[in-house]
């Protein structure tokens, strides 16, 4: 059982307070402005959502999860985040159920067994102190109730690793979707955030994968989950939509902040 690591820090540890905080995100002035209901009115899709503390990023994440609710319920959710800790294997799948204040998100054992290979290995150490997957799960639980997950942490975010993981996900059995976890640029002024987050978001919208890597490898842009985003783009070939582009300064103030974006990618 993988116990929560950032509960009480990134989000409330009390279940009712956590539900209230997620509801706050959906109805926040910088959020979508409604509490979603699960209904199949949109095509199936994957999403990109930020993973910072809820006070800073949850209203932006609410756009992604609200849109996901409009595409119905899935058998399980592949949640892919970047590795911030340096612990574990290059592409690490967790096979321990994730505990959050809203309950237990069980891992989809057969799916984990199906995607493993020489690069994608079970390694719970990578998940033990990593927040990028953890913070997305309460949103799924808030919307869907009980959920099953395949949690993946990428230390190797190279194009080769992302395309390889995508090739495995394309062959994965069952009705699932992908949650790619990423913040955008870090600790910049409002003007720089607007400019650089705009560049990065444009590349995602236009599926310019080589441009994404050129931005990242140049050191000018610091979106931490570019590997999960490229994995999503490489798995699903449909329309990409940018639902919200914002940053922590717009929500909490400050001279510098972190950028956040909400994207959806249709499966097709």
Q: Tell me how far apart the alpha carbons of residues 197 and 1 are, in angstroms, rounded to a whole number.
A: 36
State residue 268's pLDDT score: 87
**Tens of pLDDT, residue by residue, the chain (268 residues):** 999 999 999 999 999 999 999 999 999 999 999 999 999 999 999 999 999 999 999 999 999 999 999 999 999 999 999 999 999 999 999 999 999 999 999 999 999 999 999 999 999 999 999 999 999 999 999 999 999 999 999 999 999 999 999 999 999 999 999 999 999 999 999 999 999 999 999 999 999 999 999 999 999 899 999 999 999 999 999 999 999 999 999 999 999 999 999 999 999 8
Q: Tell me how far apart the alpha carbons of residues 155 and 176 are, in angstroms, rounded to a whole number.
A: 23
State residue 159's pLDDT score: 98
State residue 262's pLDDT score: 98
CB-count burial class (<10 Å; 0-12, 13-18, 19+) for 227: buried
User: Where do the domains of the chain lie?
Assistant: 15-266
Q: Tell me how far apart the alpha carbons of residues 223 and 186 are, in angstroms, rounded to a whole number.
A: 7
- Structure tokens that stand for 193 in this block: 């955030």
* Helical segments of the chain, H only: 15-27, 54-69, 109-115, 125-128, 137-144, 159-170, 190-205, 209-218, 226-235, 248-252
DSSP, collapsed to helix, strand or coil, labels residue 103 as strand
Q: Tell me how far apart the alpha carbons of residues 144 and 94 are, in angstroms, rounded to a whole number.
A: 21
Residue 136 C-alpha from the chain's centroid: 6
Q: Which residues have a Cβ under 8 Å from the Cβ of 24 and sit 6 or more positions away?
A: 58
Q: Are 257 and 187 in contact (CB under 8 A)?
A: yes
Residue 208 C-alpha from the chain's centroid: 19
Domain 15-266 - what CATH class? Answer: alpha beta
DSSP, collapsed to helix, strand or coil, labels residue 267 as coil
Using only the alpha carbons of the chain, give its radius of gyration: 17
């Amino acid at each position: 059982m993988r116990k929560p690591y950032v509960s009480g820090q990134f989000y409330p540890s009390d279940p009712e307070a956590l539900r209230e905080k997620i509801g706050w995100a959906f109805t926040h002035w910088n959020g979508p402005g409604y509490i979603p209901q699960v209904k199949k009115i949109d095509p199936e899709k994957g999403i990109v959502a930020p993973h910072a503390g809820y006070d800073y990023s949850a209203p932006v994440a609410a756009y992604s999860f609200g849109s996901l609710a409009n595409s119905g319920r899935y058998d399980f959710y592949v949640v892919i985040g970047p590795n911030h800790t340096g612990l574990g294997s290059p592409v690490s799948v967790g096979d321990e159920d994730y505990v959050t204040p809203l309950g237990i998100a069980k891992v989809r054992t057969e799916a984990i067994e199906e995607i493993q290979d020489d690069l994608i290995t079970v390694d719970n150490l990578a998940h033990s102190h990593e927040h990028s997957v953890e913070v997305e799960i309460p949103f799924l639980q808030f919307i869907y109730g009980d959920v099953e997950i395949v949690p993946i942490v990428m230390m190797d975010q190279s194009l080769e690793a992302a395309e390889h993981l995508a090739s495995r996900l394309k062959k994965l059995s069952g009705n699932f979707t992908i949650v790619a976890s990423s913040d955008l640029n870090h600790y910049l002024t409002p003007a720089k955030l607007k400019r650089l987050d705009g560049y990065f978001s444009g590349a995602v919208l236009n599926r310019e994968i080589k441009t994404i890597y050129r931005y990242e490898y140049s050191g000018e842009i610091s979106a931490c989950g570019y590997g999960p985003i490229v994995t999503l783009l490489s798995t699903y070939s449909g329309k990409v939509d940018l639902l919200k582009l914002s940053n922590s300064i717009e929500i909490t103030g400050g001279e510098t902040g972190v950028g956040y974006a909400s994207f959806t990618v249709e499966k097709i």
